[in-house]
């Protein structure tokens, strides 16, 4: 993750006219894809947030999509298949357009109760350290306000194949909101 600003949609609305940010995260993706991918084993970039760094990586090096598969937890199911919107897809809609049109892209739409990941009983049995204190503080604040989450589901879909219960193949049909059918 980097602190690169959202991408600016050019007035001609042409992806390749977009000025790259040259963010640290984008450069990491470019470098990692060169080092780690092969034609039969692309680098999987898994994200639970905005797609700015991925789009920026494409703008820096147009060959990145040949080496990368994007797995993202953003947006929702729709009657047309899926939509790249809330949650997380609304933060840089131009980056969404770039990634959807230029990359092999997998969108994961799922929600679960993250408060159940570490129960209060389990938290009380964990070692006394900074990490456990952080977990306890999250349970008392974030979990209470937002019991359902989607940010981690992309990692779950990649790491635990049985987590995926259904697959719908879709193509982009437009934007904003980037509905897919």
Going by C-alpha positions, the residue among 91, 86, 135, 90 that lies closest to residue 111 is 86
Each residue's pLDDT tens digit, 15-61: 999 999 999 999 999 999 999 999 899 999 998 888 999 999 999 99
Which alpha helices (H) appear in 37-129, and where do they start and end? 52-60, 64-67, 93-102, 120-125
Q: How confident is the model at residue 180 (pLDDT cuts 50, 70, 90)?
A: very low
Q: Could you tell me the pTM of the whole model?
A: 0.76
């Amino acid at each position: 993750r980097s602190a690169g600003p959202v991408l600016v949609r050019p007035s001609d609305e042409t992806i390749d006219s977009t000025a790259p940010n040259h963010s640290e995260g984008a450069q990491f993706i470019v470098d990692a894809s060169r080092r780690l991918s092969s034609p039969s084993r692309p680098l999987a970039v898994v994200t639970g947030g905005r797609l700015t760094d991925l789009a920026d990586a494409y703008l820096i090096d147009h060959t990145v999509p040949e080496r990368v598969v994007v797995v993202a937890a953003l947006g929702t199911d729709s009657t047309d298949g899926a939509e790249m919107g809330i949650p997380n897809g609304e933060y840089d809609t131009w980056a969404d357009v770039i990634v959807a049109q230029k990359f092999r892209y997998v969108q994961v739409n799922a929600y679960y109760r993250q408060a159940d990941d570490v129960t209060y009983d389990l938290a009380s049995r964990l070692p006394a350290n900074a990490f456990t204190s952080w977990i306890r503080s999250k349970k008392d604040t974030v979990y209470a306000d937002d019991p359902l989450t989607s940010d981690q589901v992309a990692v779950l879909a990649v790491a635990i194949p049985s987590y995926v219960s259904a697959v719908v193949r879709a193509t982009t049909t437009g934007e904003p909101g980037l509905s897919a059918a």
